[in-house]
Structure 1
Amino acid sequence: MTDPSTPHGVPMSDVDAKAARAEDRAHLFYSWSAQRDLDPPLVSGASGVHFWDAEGRRYLDFASQFVHVNIGHQHPKVIAAIREQAERLCTIGPSMGVDVRARAARLIAEHAPAGMSRVFFTNGGTEAIEHATRMARRMTGRPKLLAAYRSYHGSTTTSMHLSGDPRRWPSDTGAAGVARFFGPYLYRTVFHARDEAEECARALAHLDEVVRLEGPETIAAIVLESVVGTNGILVPPDGYLAGVRAICDRYGIVYIADEVMSGFGRTGKWFAVDHWDVVPDLICFAKGVNSGYVPLGGIVIGPRVAEFFQDTPYPGGLTYSGHPLACAAAVGAITAMDDEGIVDNALRLGAEVLGPGLRELADKHPCVGDVRGLGAFWALELVADRATREPLGTAAMAAVAAACKERGLWPMAVANRIHVVPPCVTGDADARAGLAVLDAALTTADSHPSS
């Protein structure tokens, strides 16, 4: 692992760095943060699975930034696609036909589950959720949406209300027509399950009961992360997503799969639902579709919804829907993922390196309570006591994250978890180097687990 104190990137000059920091602190308003005491790192460049700060300290990106740089930083094929499109046509309205937009839609549809052949473009994931729920409500004529606790669906009004994440609390008015249910989570089961099969069966029975108690004729959609992301990398047990599909079919409910984080190779499949051969009505995507090189999200639309809007106008749109530069980035990214076997690499990396390596850490460190994941999408759940499963405290979590950064690894620390979510292009050597840093950092938590 690179010593972060040794310059390996291209540092900024002292004058430029000082000016950039002054402008940042004077004018930028950061998300999810109180502003006064922020001290964000000043990043001057990135390449592949690394980025570096203004001093040239290089970090292995085990967070993929916000779990979106699936194809790695500065991929030359994506940069070339953006450059070529910029020289030809930077922007055009969404009501116009343009070849790159159509090509991006075709490539996305070709990699989606069978029958899902239409794509509506947005600027990101939260807008994809907003428009998917609008489609469901318009089509069914029903007002309610069901969403899980331990979920995150975005930060606009409807998507934030859908989120089971505590971050919704300051914004939740209780007036968005959302009802909640518990999804499967065997490590902290609310169903008193003894194994995954029991957890699955009881979670589905619970969901069916919630639907019946809320009134099936009032529910437009069930919105569900195929693999829960920010709230813990919760991989559903076999049979769960198929059971959700069956419940939706039984009551005429639209099944919306949120794959903003889990889609486009993150779990080792193009879409996470592919692990279980489940076909939703709508799939919301963003992030990995072009690794965030230019903001892009959207909805892959199944035949039932597509048919409804053949003769019924859809009441929504966006000025930048299908922006040519963003679509060019998607074409470049998807083509590179196909050509370079990046999705297969993520699947193999999880099965052969990340999964086994993280389980070895669990065997070694008493602070590790649970390990779960798929592909390049994993979490270590850290505890103060394995017997009681008390979550590791804030101070100990901060110490683990700091120990990672000191050793040149940029982690994703969420609540009492370390999410191991490197780019899908990560090679074995870099993955093992990152795990070695985690090994050293977890010793910090072992030494004071009650903090």
Structure 2
Amino acid sequence: HATTEAEECTRALQHLERTIESEGPATIAAIILESVPGTAGIMVPPAGYLAGVRALCDKYGILYIADEVMAGFGRTGAWFAFQHFGITPDLVTFAKGVNSGYVPLGGVIINEAVSATFGDRVYPGGLTYSGHPLACAAAVGSMTFMTEAHVIEHAKALGDDIIRPELLAMQERHPSVGEIRGLGVMFAIELVRDRATKEPLAPYGAASPAMNEVIAACRAEKLLIFANFNRLHVVPPCTISADDLRDGLARLDRALAVADRHYAGKS
């Protein structure tokens, strides 16, 4: 078992390469992954992992597709989450944040090599609402505002200056906070019964009375928070003010006292 993130990164990349070789590189069209998984847990990849995946894709002639539907357009404090890791995918899928959800819109960014293949072969795709002018106009308007209002820089500053330090302080105060992780305005809190064993406050794939109490405490604080298994997600709007953010985090801080009642390990 790995004992550090660097060891785990090496182990995971070795496992991925063995899988590629076992399946046969010629049978693999692409590797698709979220740069920072969203609903699955806001798991920021360790340093070097995405670069390692990029290198394996290059080595074996496999396309690298980055899913940025949740993390893209400012959520992590960059236009796209993959930009934090110094890599460039071959294709990037996006939606939601491109126009703030005002009109349904999704798309794919492709590199020059992929684009060049359509010079010889017409892409046989197209849907009734492809390139819908209303959705595209909303995207242009949203991106223009985000650029002029420095929304990306604002989201990064909120994460660096407020969310991360505030959550780390909560981890010091609340023994039930086992881990915090994230970037920009995209963070997760893992609630545990025991920090040493990392026993979660709710089992994977299920709820628990303890987590239900924590969620109820958040609601009593007039705080609507996304909860999944033993996790709480701190994902405010990219445009939230610093004062409103601090107010919401203070409410969360008070609600976490309920989680501490279910802590069974050593503080």
Q: Which of the numbers 229, 238, 245 marks the counterpart of 1:431? A: 245
Q: Residue deviations 1:316-339, cap 9 Å, x none? A: 221111211111111111001000
Kindly indicate whether structure 1 or structure 2 has the higher relative contact order, using CA contacts under 8 Å at least 6 residues apart. 1
Corresponding residue of 2:18: 209
Give aligned-pair identity as a percent. 60
Shift in Å at residue 248 of structure 1? Answer: 0.4
Q: Which of the numbers 231, 243, 250 marks the counterpart of 1:417? A: 231
Displacement over 4 Å in runs of 4+? none
Say if 2:56 is the partner of 1:247.
Answer: yes
Q: Distance in 1 between matches of 2:152 and 2:104?
A: 21
Q: What does 1:148-159 correspond to in 2, within 5 Å? A: none
Q: Which of the numbers 290, 293, 300 marks the counterpart of 2:109? A: 300
Q: Which of the numbers 334, 338, 353 marks the counterpart of 2:162? A: 353
Say if 2:13 is the partner of 1:199.
Answer: no
The TM-score with structure 2 as length reference comes to 0.94
Q: Distance in 1 between matches of 2:185 and 2:256?
A: 20
Q: Distance in 2 between matches of 1:435 and 1:312?
A: 53
Gaps of 5+ in 2: 203-207
Q: Residue deviations 1:189-247, cap 9 Å, x none? A: xxx22222112111111111111111111101100100111111010111111111110
Shift in Å at residue 424 of structure 1? Answer: 0.7
Q: What does 1:346-385 correspond to in 2, within 5 Å? A: 346-385=155-194
Corresponding residue of 2:100: 291
Say if 2:88 is the partner of 1:274.
Answer: no
RMSD: 1.1
Q: Distance in 2 between matches of 1:312 and 1:384?
A: 57
Q: Distance in 1 between matches of 2:177 and 2:116?
A: 49
What is the letter of the counterpart of residue 191 of structure 2? Answer: L
Gaps of 5+ in 1: 1-191
Q: Secondary structure at the match of 1:379?
A: strand
Q: Distance in 2 between matches of 1:214 and 1:415?
A: 33
Say if 2:141 is the partner of 1:327.
Answer: no
What is the letter of the counterpart of residue 306 of structure 1? Answer: S
Q: Residue deviations 1:241-275, cap 9 Å, x none? A: 11111100111111000000010000000011111
The TM-score with structure 1 as length reference comes to 0.56
Corresponding residue of 1:443: 257
Shift in Å at residue 309 of structure 1? Answer: 1.5
What is the letter of the counterpart of residue 360 of structure 1? Answer: A
Q: Secondary structure at the match of 1:410?
A: coil
Q: Secondary structure at the match of 1:229?
A: coil
Shift in Å at residue 313 of structure 1? Answer: 2.1
Q: Residue deviations 1:391-440, cap 9 Å, x none? A: 11221112111211221211010111001000111121111111111111
Say if 2:50 is the partner of 1:236.
Answer: no
Corresponding residue of 1:70: none
Q: Distance in 1 between matches of 2:21 and 2:130?
A: 37
CA contact (8 A) 1:337 1:343 kept: yes
Q: Secondary structure at the match of 1:262?
A: coil
CA contact (8 A) 1:396 1:449 kept: no
Q: Distance in 2 between matches of 1:236 and 1:385?
A: 24
Q: Which of the numbers 222, 235, 250 marks the counterpart of 1:408? A: 222
Structure whose alpha-carbon radius of gyration is higher: 1
What is the letter of the counterpart of residue 291 of structure 1? Answer: S
